[in-house]
Structure 1
C-alpha cells in the first residue's frame, strides 16, 4: 500500500490542502491523511502551543503510515513544508513535495499589490467580498505574538536539516504569493541535498496554492512526479 501525508501551514488547517487530498483520493487507492496540527483548524487556539508540538503531531502520523504502508510520500504546504523536509531526513520517505514552503516569509512586492487591491475594494464598498482580506483578518485577530515566535523558531531550527534531505523532491511556488517570496523556492532547490529535484513556478498562484486556478494542472504534475498515472476515467 502507498501512503501520503499532507501537512498544512501556520494558522491554517486541512482545508488549505483539501483539494489536493480529494484529488489524490479520487485518482489513487492511496491511504491519504492530513492531520490538524495543535491549535490549528477552523478555530485557532494557538496560545501556549510550542512548535515542537506541531512537529510531533505530524511525526506521529508519519510513523503510523510507515507501519501500514510499503511506500510513503510526504507533502508539505507553507510551514508544513519545513516540517515535511525535517521528517524526510528522519524517516524513509520515498518522495517529498513542497508547496509554497515557508523558508522565507512575507513577499514585499506581492504584499504591496494585495494591500492596494484591498484598499480599492474598501473604497468601492466591496471589502467584505475580498477573500484575501477576510482570510487574513481572521488569522491576524486569532494569532498571538507567542505563536508567531514559535513559527519563526520552527523555520530557523528546521532549515538546517535541508542539506540532509536525499529523497526526490518537487518544489512548487506561486509567483503571486504575498507570503512566501519566489526566491524561497530557488534557495530550497539549492539547499536540499537530493540529487533528483524538480522546481515548478505557477504564474497566477497566490499563497494558498491548492486553491489556485492552476490547481488541476498542478495536481496532475504532483501525481506524475509521485509516479502515478492519471486514471483514464478523467
Structure 2
C-alpha cells in the first residue's frame, strides 16, 4: 500500500518550513507533496489579492495529485496549514490528519484591530522574526517578517469556516503544539480537541519548541510522533476517495 503525506505550511511561511519533515518522510518511502500557498515564498505584497479560497485551492490541488497515485493519505499542516488540514478532512476521506501549532480562533482584540485599523496600518510586523527557539534553523526558512494587514481578514474568515466543519471529521487526528508558542497559544490545542468528535484523537505538547514545530528543537520528536500516528492509524480509514 502506497501512502502519501501532504504537508501544508503556515501563513507568511513557505514550503521551506516543511522541507526537513518532507525529506525525512521521503527517506522512509512515503510520497510527499508540499504545495506553496498563494502569495507565499516571495515578497509580502504577493499576499495582496490572495484569499482563503486560493489557499484551499492550492492545498486541494496537491491532495488530488496524491490521490492519483496513493492508496492512503495523511495530511499534516503547520499553523494555518493545520487549520486547512482540518477543513480538507471534512471534505475528503483521508486516513488521518496532524495539526501542528494550529489556531482554532483568534482573540477579539486581534480581530478588532485588523478590522478597524487596516486602512491606516498597512502592514503588521513581526518584531522578533519567526517564532522559533532554535535560532540556527532560521537560515532554512523563507518567511515574511511583515504582511499586509488586510490579508489577515482572510485568515479570520477561514478559521470561522473551519470551526463550523471540525465536528464532521471522522478520521484519526493528532494535535501537536509547543507549550511556549508565542503566536498561537497552546490553549488552541485544547479547543481543537474539545471540538473534535472523531473517536480517535490524540494531543501531544513539546516544551523546547515555540511555533515552528517542524524546524525547532523538538522536530525529531515531532517526526517520530507523526510516524507513530501513521503506523497506528493507517488502517482505520478506507482508502481515500474524492467526495463530490
Query: Scaled by the length of structure 1, what TM-score is found?
Result: 0.81
Structure 2 distance, partners of 1:2, 1:104, is 31
Whether 1:69 and 2:75 are equivalent positions in the alignment is no
- Structure 1 unpaired stretches of 5+: 109-116, 119-128, 229-234
1:18 paired residue number: 19
Say how many residue pairs are matched. 204
Residues 73 and 18 (structure 1 numbering): CA distance in 2 closer, same or farther, change over 3 Å? same
**Larger helix fraction of residues:** 1
Deviation string for 1:112-150 (max 9, x for gaps)? xxxxx96xxxxxxxxxx8988xx8x9422xx11221111
Residues 138 and 34 (structure 1 numbering): CA distance in 2 closer, same or farther, change over 3 Å? closer
SS at match of 2:84: helix
Whether 1:33 and 2:38 are equivalent positions in the alignment is no
Structure 2 distance, partners of 1:82, 1:15, is 19
Residues 71 and 131 (structure 1 numbering): CA distance in 2 closer, same or farther, change over 3 Å? closer
1:100 paired residue number: 101
Structure 2 distance, partners of 1:130, 1:144, is 27
State whether residues 13 and 144 of structure 2, in contact with CA within 8 Å, keep that contact through their aligned partners in structure 1.
no
Moved over 6 A (4+): 129-132
SS at match of 1:210: coil
Two-structure CA RMSD over aligned residues (Å): 2.4
Deviation at 1:104, TM superposition (A): 3.2
Q: Greater relative contact order: 1 or 2 (C-alpha under 8 angstroms, separation 6 or more)?
A: 2
Structure 1 distance, partners of 2:179, 2:106, is 13
Query: Scaled by the length of structure 2, what TM-score is found?
Result: 0.78
- Structure 2 unpaired stretches of 5+: 110-126, 129-134, 233-244
Deviation string for 1:153-197 (max 9, x for gaps)? 111122211101111010000011000111100010111121011
State whether residues 105 and 179 of structure 1, in contact with CA within 8 Å, keep that contact through their aligned partners in structure 2.
no
State whether residues 106 and 156 of structure 2, in contact with CA within 8 Å, keep that contact through their aligned partners in structure 1.
no
State whether residues 48 and 146 of structure 1, in contact with CA within 8 Å, keep that contact through their aligned partners in structure 2.
no
Structure 2 distance, partners of 1:147, 1:163, is 27
Name which of 169, 172, 175 aligns with 2:173: 169
